[in-house]
Structure formats: C-alpha cells, structure tokens
Amino acid sequence: MAVIGHIGAFHGDLADWRHDIHAHPELGFEEQRTADFVAQKLAEFGVEVFRGVGKTGVVGRLRAGSSARAIGLRADMDALPIEEATNLPYRSQNAGRMHACGHDGHTAMLLGAARYLAETRAFDGTVHLIFQPAEEGLGGGAAMVEDGLFDRFPCDAIFGMHNSPGLAVGKFQIRTGAMMAGGAYFDIAVAGRGAHGARPESGIDPVVAASHIAIALQTIVSRNLRPLDTAVVSVTQIHAGEAYNVIPERAVLRGTARCFSRQTMAMIEENLRRVAAGVAAGFGATAELDFRVIFPPLVNDAAEARFVADVAAELVGEGNVNREGNLVMASEDFSYMLEKRPGAYIRIGNGDGDGSCEVHNPGYDFNDAALPLGASLFARLAETKLARE
C-alpha cells in the first residue's frame, strides 16, 4: 500500500526519533524534554501545536478540506522508574529511568503519521494528534480529559495502539468490548496493640491479623465472583515493625485488584472492606481500607473495533489480524478517553524471536521494524475515517 511505502521512505527518521526519546526518558508529568521534542517536530511538519494539556500533554491539530468530522489519534510519552540493563548505543542517559514499555515507539509512530498526513492531506476533516503524559499509573489520561481535551479538540472517534512482545512484527490483535482490565491499588491499615515479643498475651498482634487478612482476601475471587467472570486480587506488600523483640502497633498490607467491569471493581472493594474488618475484629484488631481505582477497564466500541481491524487488514492482510485477541490483565489509562468517546485500542506486534522480552523489563527495547507499520495504521485510520466524499 502507498502509505507504507511513503512512510517507509523515512523509516530512518522514525528510528532516530525513537532512539532520541529512548535515551532521554522522563517519568509521568515530568515529560518536559519529550513534550518539547514532540512539539518541535509537529511544528516542523506544519501542524498546529497546543501545549500543557493535562499538565505536560501535547495536542497537534491538522486540518484538510471543509468537513466538520474529526478523529483523535493517541500515543503515550512517559517512561518507568527502572534502571536500564541493555548495552544499546541509545540506552537511557537518565539514571533510574527507562522506556521499558515502548512509549518511545508509540510516540515515534504517531509523529510518523503526523508527518505523512501533513505532507499528503488526503483526508477531509480534522485530525487531533494526542500525545499523553503519565500513562503509567499517574492518571495522565484522566488529566487530559479533565482539562477539557474533547471540549477543546472534538473527536467523533479516538484510537490508540500498544506494542505486544511475543506477537510477530506485521501482526495486529484486537477484540470487541472489554479488552484490558481496570486496575485499582489498595492499602489496608491494621491497628493492634504493641507489646514485648516475649509477652504476646499483653498485646494485640497486627502482624498475625494482617497475615490472616492476606489469606482471606483470596476468597473474594474464588467465592464472591461469578466463575464466568475474571478478576485478580493480589497482596504485594506487608509492612510491620522494625525490631525482633517488639510486637508493633500497626501493620499495612498493599496490593492491586484487576477486573473487566466497574461493577466487579465495586464488588471487590466492598468485599475487601468487609473481609479486612471482619478478620481483624476476630483478633481484637481493627482494619481500615483505602481503595483507589487507577484505571477503568478498557472497553472497545464494537463498530470502531471492527473499523480498526478492517483498516489493519488492508495494510497487512486479514490473516495477520486477530480479531478475537485474549483479554489482557494489565491496565491502560486510554480507558478514560474511551469512556468519553467511541473508539478502540489495538495491539501491534513487537516481535516473537529469541531475545524478545515482556514490557516493564530492564532488558526490553521497542522493535524499530514495527515503526512504519504503526505509523501507517494511524495514518490510514485518519484517511479512512475522514475519507473525501
């Protein structure tokens, strides 16, 4: 297809942009250099640029023709607090910061689509190029929405993309409806009564109570959730005390919950509170829950999911598009945007060969071979949705 050839002609530029972003990773809401880089490139392409949307977010606006129709294309920009363990020539120059999830690749792909669309203008309407900050659990998607993203930049539909290690380059995967889990973090503070470690009868041991709470919480999924539904409740931290011979006053459990509907998330919260308080009371202690929904479930609109899959099939062939992909227990805050506008989120192959590893790993690297494919899909979504009549 012509779009792949056109974008493939500047594949080297795409890789250079990604390597530059990879070498200078920034955490959520700190993406000043990355936002500067994105804004500069968009301006060079002739795209109208808006800064500071959702704190450090950038939006580019590109118009052609006279139609009032509009589409949104979104990429994320933030990195993770990980020390990179690669020997790449463009490895992270910022200690304790790394693009270990491929947001450098996502940003480069959307910049590639912006350049192509600005050069060709083969559409009728408005394309909003949305570069989101703070996807990694800090609420960047929500921040952009709350900052009036869709009031300032109306979108009839919105689309996003994420790389998928283990899926071959040249393949795409999507599903209709719920696709990625909603995510919540929780803290349970257990209060007891401190005592000497040799005289436990004189105190109320919050460590014992917390340990029983951690086990009892596993019954929420096995006994409160319908067997046909899917959820995870994981206690990932227990903190208590600082001395060998002191029973502490307090213990804290922390963890995460993942599921595919807001109703299930509410059920999990209710039962976390009930189980924690009840088990603690059985030991004479008390427990208080702090439950925070970080990501809503990501739900693809049925019509827009079919649309994305159809456009991907035009690029790479129907046999390379899996329209019934697996549910993903990881979370993605593009879900905040999909709650406000119809749209869909698709996964693009990052490679399945030797040495490929999952995201959030210190040895991870985005596969440059996927850059023209992702950029071409973004571009064709705009051209097809805003086709000239």
pLDDT in tens, 307-334: 999 999 999 999 999 999 999 999 999 9
Q: Are residues 64 and 146 in the same domain?
A: yes
pLDDT of res. 1: 67
Nearest to 233 by CA among 191, 190, 276: 276
Check whether residue 236 and residue 259 sit in a common domain: yes
pLDDT tens string 358-382:
999 999 999 999 999 999 999 999 9
First to last CA, the chain: 21
Domain count, the chain: 2
Residue 389 predicted with pLDDT over 90? no
| 156 and 220 both lie in a single domain | no
Same domain, 285 and 234: yes
pTM: 0.92
Contact 221, 232 (CB under 8 A): yes
Condensed to tens digits (0 to 9), the pLDDT of residues 225-257 reads 999 999 999 999 999 999 999 999 999 999 999
Measure the CA–CA gap between 121 and 125, rounded to whole angstroms: 10
Mean of per-residue pLDDT scores for the chain: 97
Please check whether residues 357 and 375 belong to one and the same domain: yes
Last residue of a domain, one of 246, 270, 295: 295
As to burial, measured by CB atoms within 10 angstroms (0-12 exposed, 13-18 middle, 19+ buried), residue 154 is: middle
- The residue out of 235, 261, 295 marking a domain boundary is 295
Q: Residues 13-69: pLDDT tens digits?
A: 999 999 999 999 999 999 999 999 999 999 999 999 999 999 999 999 999 999 999
Question: By C-alpha distance, which of 197, 38, 16, 42 is closest to 114?
Answer: 42
Within this chain, do residues 324 and 278 fall inside the same structural domain, yes or no? Answer: no
* CATH number of residue 242's parent domain: 3.30.70.360
Q: Beta strand pairing status for 57-64 and 70-76?
A: unpaired
> Quick one: DSSP state of residue 348?
E
Quick check: 353 pLDDT over 90?
A: no
Q: What's the pLDDT score for residue 356?
A: 75
Tell whether 100 and 218 lie within a shared domain: no
Return the CATH number at 17. 3.40.630.10
Q: Give the chain's length.
A: 389
- What whole-number percentage of the chain has pLDDT above 70? 99
What backbone torsions phi and psi does residue 35 show, to the nearest 5 degrees? -65, -40
Same domain for 175 and 303?
Answer: yes
pLDDT tens-digit series, residues 101-153:
999 999 999 999 999 999 999 999 999 999 999 999 899 999 999 999 999 99
- What are the residues whose beta carbons fall under 8 Å from the beta carbon of 281, sequence distance 6 or more? none
Is the same domain home to 271 and 190?
Answer: yes
Domain that holds residue 52: 2-180+298-385
Task: Note whether 131 and 190 are same-domain residues.
Answer: no
User: 231, 262, 295: which is the final residue of a domain?
Assistant: 295
71 shares a domain with 43? yes
As a whole number of angstroms, the distance between CA 45 and CA 39 comes to 10
Round to whole Å and give the CA distance between 22 and 93. Answer: 9
Co-location of 170 and 191 in the same domain: no
